[in-house]
Amino acid sequence: EDQVTQSPEALRLQEGESSSLNCSYTVSGLRGLFWYRQDPGKGPEFLFTLYSAGEEKEKERLKATLTKKESFLHITAPKPEDSATYLCAVQADDYKLSFGAGTTVTVRA
């Protein structure tokens, strides 16, 4: 069974304090690893897809990396507007997405 584990569950940062979120996974035949951002009361919003180990993608202050067993989402010099829950998901050979429980990030000014 595909498993996705995110850590930490919650992360409180000071504005400008860089940090990383972890997503570890076990999956049979990884087709893609996804990162989403979810604001309170809203649906998840797509950020990145990573396909293979060694791949990196960036968007503003966010950078996602992928190894064979885990992915990291690095937040560089975060701002209060980066406060959200970040979700990781994997797509396996059956094409379905399996999600982690998320990391809730709070950035204080």
Length of the chain: 109
Instruction: List the x/- string, 89-108, binding to another protein by CB under 8 A.
Output: x-x---xxx-xxxx------
Number of residues that bind another protein (CB under 8 A): 24
How distant is the alpha carbon of residue 78 from its chain centre?
15
Instruction: List the x/- string, 35-74, binding to another protein by CB under 8 A.
Output: -x----xxxxxx--x-x-----------------------
Residue type, 49: T
Q: What CA–CA distance (Å, rounded) separates 48 from 62?
A: 10
The DSSP secondary-structure symbol of 30 reads -
- Tell me the β-bridge partners of 66: 71
- Indicate the residue among 78 and 102 with the shorter CB distance to another protein: 102
* Site residues (vs another protein, CB under 8 A): 4, 9, 31-32, 34, 36, 41-46, 49, 51, 87, 89, 91, 95-97, 99-102
